[in-house]
Structure 1
């Protein structure tokens, strides 16, 4: 879509951010609908951030890393949960061709309940690295599960940019189970849940997204019983906490969230679904 309110596109390094600016990564959201409040685009790709860097204790995913680049990464042999990358990528409400342009950072910064890169990085205990300007100062860090605070809402100040997401290797070594459901065969996710089990201490984490306005996580010392999981979910999420839009009624979302959570629990406990 043409953005007729935009009168200038500049490299992100060439100027300081000002009201009316928007950071341009892949542009798959920016160019999908009118943006009347945007008058200038600052192109982040000119910064040349390496898309993926293996650090001493974590994988660093640049904000400008595309979904295709993340999918193409050759995982270490013990990254048991790397299968989540493919599973979450296929949860996009878009053609696979979008993977070549859509960025991990852009999906997080949209802050939509059904953002599959939010689901992925939250489930893997990702940490957002935020900076007030693309390459100036150390900035601050926020867990992905706390970065998105509601439908389209996130902990991102005017002029801040998502520099990277740090995913700890320990999270990548966990066993994982993935479940997703939509009202239609290729529709937007109405519920997307990821469960992980840590081989070191047996800790169980359930990450609920899409059925809730923001990521919700349950952390338990081990894979719980079916009753304990139902109780924990009900205690954490009241009926009014579920998201309501054309892609699913809250009562139905609550029902499928509990259903998928039990399937995940059974799979990670070694039982049948």
Structure 2
């Protein structure tokens, strides 16, 4: 889509260059699809030269400008530790775009997160792997914020005007976890209506990340046995049953937080969140999906 209000395209990665009427341009797949009647300048990141993917013993650093096609190739990258089973999530999340190769070679990890659509699969991936975003500030500083907290609502983030998402760090501890992925859509090639990811760290416990069905990411953490406390959901993973899991979901996700659009009614999204979360609990904790234990 043409944007006939644009007066200049400025190559820069400096948040100090930002002024009202500007927008950061990375892949531009959403920006040019939706258009605008208010933007005056595009701050162009396409030639930023940031290394798309950096692998270290501490984890993986994804540049905000990392293309989806570059991310898709990550699991086969030489030097990636074989024990990082969390990378099994990369390709299902990329496939959740249900997009052409042209989009994969233009759309970026950071752009998908900053667009903050409930069904944004890069938000799902990075939040589930406890990704931490580095945000550059106009004053020259930077701050770090969990991706699960960066997206705060439908098309809303916690970024202040002019702030720029620089990268996302995926920690090795999360990458070493066993994972489970579940996604539902109302059509075979439709936008995600529900996307739930489970992660079982090697030290025990369970982390559930709910996206697409909710306006923002929601995480539930169930502590390992003997961990000396309970997770954020107020429950331990040991003996966690289907009924207790459903109560935890109800406590973490108020009815009004379920998303409502053409891709699914809130009631359907809620019921499918129950279903997929239970499947993941059964898979990662080794319990029967029919278990109704009140344990935990």
Moved more, 140-149 or 219-228: 219-228
Match of 2:115 in 1: 110
Aligned pairs for 1:124-139 (under 5 A) are: 124-133=129-138, 137-139=140-142
Cα distance in 2 for partners of 1:54, 1:131 equals 21
Which of 153, 175, 187 lines up with 1:150 in the alignment?
A: 153
Cα distance in 1 for partners of 2:116, 2:9 equals 24
Match of 2:195 in 1: 192
Moved more, 189-198 or 58-67: 58-67
* Counterpart contact for 2:59–2:175, Cα < 8 Å: no
Moved more, 136-145 or 180-189: 136-145
Q: Which runs of 5+ in 2 are unaligned?
A: 225-236, 290-296
Shift of 1:137: 3.7
TM-score by length of 2: 0.87
Cα distance in 2 for partners of 1:155, 1:93 equals 27
1:27 aligns with 2:43: no
Match of 2:67 in 1: 66
Q: Which runs of 5+ in 1 are unaligned?
A: none
Moved more, 167-176 or 42-51: 42-51
Aligned residues: 270
Which of 102, 118, 131 lines up with 1:97 in the alignment?
A: 102
Cα distance in 2 for partners of 1:59, 1:4 equals 39
1:262 aligns with 2:278: yes
Match of 1:37 in 2: 38
Match of 1:17 in 2: 18
| Secondary structure, counterpart of 1:196 in structure 2 | strand
Which of 263, 268, 281 lines up with 1:252 in the alignment?
A: 268
Cα distance in 2 for partners of 1:98, 1:13 equals 23
Cα distance in 2 for partners of 1:5, 1:264 equals 48
Match of 1:208 in 2: 210
Cα distance in 2 for partners of 1:174, 1:56 equals 15
Match of 2:2 in 1: 2
Aligned pairs for 1:42-61 (under 5 A) are: 42-61=43-62
Match of 1:242 in 2: 258
Going from structure 1 to structure 2, the CA distance change for 1:171 and 1:32 (only over 3 Å counts) comes to same
RMSD: 1.6
Shift of 1:225: 2.0
Going from structure 1 to structure 2, the CA distance change for 1:32 and 1:67 (only over 3 Å counts) comes to same
Cα distance in 2 for partners of 1:148, 1:117 equals 11
1:178 aligns with 2:190: no
* Counterpart contact for 2:123–2:147, Cα < 8 Å: yes
